[in-house]
Chain A
């Protein structure tokens, strides 16, 4: 057994340890523990990715002395390692970009708790990514839910508390449905380990008596996870939660938390239910339909919005819709596109949130569009970054968003029934995206003669600007050299089944 194989388990445990120790530290010490942790995680997961990609096949890692169906187990594959690496990068950049705002918005005595929450959130994301056991996944879904609530309400004002309460109710409903689904599946198969459940599901899918419970279990798990990841009709918690929480939280929530749940859904589709059984069920059409509706209605709500943060939040609804549309196509190409869109949306949306906060800061803290006029001249870095992010979201070549839209279109062509609606809605949604993002870009670049607010110079925002540059580089990297990443995703999905 190779030494590298220990890395995923060590990375999960390190996060938990860092969270526990941070709870006894002061603000700055906790911040440094978090930074060191994130860099270590980058190295560990990078090594894992290189190792597993070179090895060419996945492997399992038994957590303890007892082998799989009795003990816990995690699974190391290309897609898992890629996601884990990516999550660490995004979290590091989001925290660095928002650290100044965090100091303003969070009480001095409670800042260390923010880092505790972040460390535990990362541990839960890594565990969701690597796990090979449904119940382990559920335990870490709980950690994920609670820490996400904490991230929302750590900035204490009325709206964030309300948003956190709303998020908690919706998210717990999702957890409950997921748990019921897992229980039913356990009752039908007698296993909690993903590979064993899959073997059993293949056996029982032919038996008529178990057809209905199996279908309901799949439905409960899909709906539970789509509530938690804010698919269209269940997105009511999203705008407030992303719009009013502190900026790092918004970036982390939109690009990591909801993506973690979607990745879990991928795992359930491939590793628990089996792709063919899932694709032949009706649930997939419902997910497809909801995805399409989300793409349109999310964008329409974003156009109506007069608050830049909430506008970006509503844009997330549309983008989550894209991912579910990819899942709903029920083809291998659609799945690849959906996974790629997870990456590209995470990179772009966190960039947009971080850039937007720079723009509102130079406009006296106001998020209304009218006050943002000319903001890009006052904070050039944020303006440029916001423009790049918008271009990526709209789907201009050279940026990540273009590749994912291209892949969605290619995937749609392969599915004869769903091709027409998918392509039409993709087109409409792109135009709507362009309307509200370009509206904002034009607004922030409109010259405004008498500047009532101060300009920001590079010297004051070094860290912030560095984070923005890293995000832009990440975006362009995903857009320009997408082929190796798509190959990795294909390799990972092939390892899944």
Chain B
């Protein structure tokens, strides 16, 4: 076979690179992916000694099991009591379960008018093909509002524990920051994220928007969106993420989502309780724009869950969004 290209032109083509990689003569990633060797954090010797002293002291004075007879006995009794307690609880629960009604029996108490109406009239009353969505977001919308607030308050508590001051954050960002031990610009991760992130985002949005006509909904779709954000942040760093999702936008998104849910929910509860027509169209079951309050609430829940997931990651990783 005759070569159509001269040697130096051929060396630029993908085929050359591929055959060279196949023959093992050159690793194409050499020099491209920067894997930083892990540096030890240098701690001054005296602080290490101090700390060791402290630990030694704690071990000797507080947990001195060999001399403190009382403590030794307490430790042993504590462990034994804990094990016995757990075994007793497990035993009681297992024994009780054997007395409960058998699963799947049609005459069980939980097969009653409640589930019957959910199944038989759910589609007609909520406009949702997905009965579970109809149940949690229309019949029992108040519970789900509470559940969404659980997520909200959990983020607040993590913020109390882990959020750092602006000044400290800036200092951290200026230095090597949190990525000290990690490979910078990992091409494998970045390449994968480049391909996967859009798909994950679209899939998450799909699940949120189709919560009322197929399995899924705000909670699961929001979790997927949050996972996509986390993948993006870990591949490209917080600098890139902060261009479209910083603390300001996080707050706006979170508060808007929860308030929208609250407003829609309150309107629904109060009109319903007072017997006023609520003018929320149920739509044609099976269409995207159907299901009454389910679709807007799903969107709000999805946003809130995504924000929560990402905020947890960012707070644990960096101490701020």
A residues with CB within 8 A of B: 1, 5-6, 9-10, 13, 16-17, 19-21, 23-24, 61-66, 69-72, 107, 109-110, 113, 116-117, 120, 123, 127, 133, 135-136, 139-140, 142-143, 146-147, 149-150, 153-154, 156, 161, 180, 184, 186-191, 200, 204, 209-210, 212-213, 216
When A63-B273, A140-B146, A212-B95 are in contact, do A110 and B100 touch as well, CB less than 8 Å? no
Contact B108 A190 (CB under 8 A): yes
Tally chain B residues at the interface, Cβ within 8 Å: 58
Measured in the bound complex, the distance between the Cα atoms of B274 and A65 in whole Å is 9
Q: Which of B92, B110, B139 contacts A216 (CB 8 A)?
A: B92
Cα distance A209–B100 when bound, in Å? 8
Q: Is the CB of B99 within 8 A of A210?
A: yes
Report yes or no: A120 in contact with B99, Cβ–Cβ below 8 A: no
Contacts of A20 in B (CB 8 A): 149, 152, 255, 258-259, 262
Q: Check A16/B160 contact, CB under 8 A, given A64-B139, A190-B110.
A: no
Is there contact, CB below 8 Å, between A188 and B100?
A: yes
CA distance A153 to B96 in the complex (A): 38
Closest to B257 in A: A20
Are A23 and B255 in touch, CB under 8 angstroms?
yes
B170 to chain A, nearest CB (A): 14
| Complex CA–CA separation, A17 to B265 (angstroms) | 11
**Which of B113-121, B185-193, B216-224 lies at the binding interface?**
B113-121
Residues of B within 8 A of A (CB): 92-93, 95-96, 99-101, 108-115, 117-118, 125, 138-143, 145-147, 149-150, 152-154, 156-157, 159-161, 163, 165-166, 251-252, 254-255, 258-259, 262, 265-266, 268-275, 278
Shortest Cβ distance from residue B168 to the other chain A in the assembled complex, whole angstroms: 11
Asked if A213 and B99 sit within 8 Å, CB to CB, the answer is: yes
Give min CB distance, B93 to chain A, whole Å.
7
Q: Chain A interface secondary structure, helix, strand, loop or mixed?
A: helix
Within the complex, the shortest CB–CB distance from B73 to chain A, in Å, comes to 18
B272 cross-chain contacts in A, Cβ below 8 A: 62-66, 71
Question: In the assembled complex, which residues on chain A have CB atoms less than 8 Å from the CB atom of B275?
Answer: 1
Q: Which residue of A lies closest to B89 (CB)?
A: A177
> Could you list 18 further interchain pairs (A-B, Cβ under 8 angstroms) beyond the known A20-B152, A136-B143?
A9-B273, A19-B149, A21-B255, A63-B142, A65-B278, A66-B125, A66-B139, A116-B153, A120-B153, A127-B146, A143-B150, A146-B157, A150-B160, A184-B100, A187-B100, A190-B114, A212-B96, A213-B96
A184 to B143, CA, bound (A): 20
Contact status A150-B156, CB under 8 Å: yes
Instruction: Give Cα A61–Cα B269 distance, bound, in whole angstroms.
Output: 10
8 A-B pairs with least C-beta separation: A65-B272, A190-B110, A190-B109, A139-B146, A72-B142, A64-B272, A150-B157, A190-B112
Q: Decide: B146 and A23 in contact? CB cutoff 8 A.
A: no
Specify the chain B residue showing the minimal Cβ separation from A61: B273
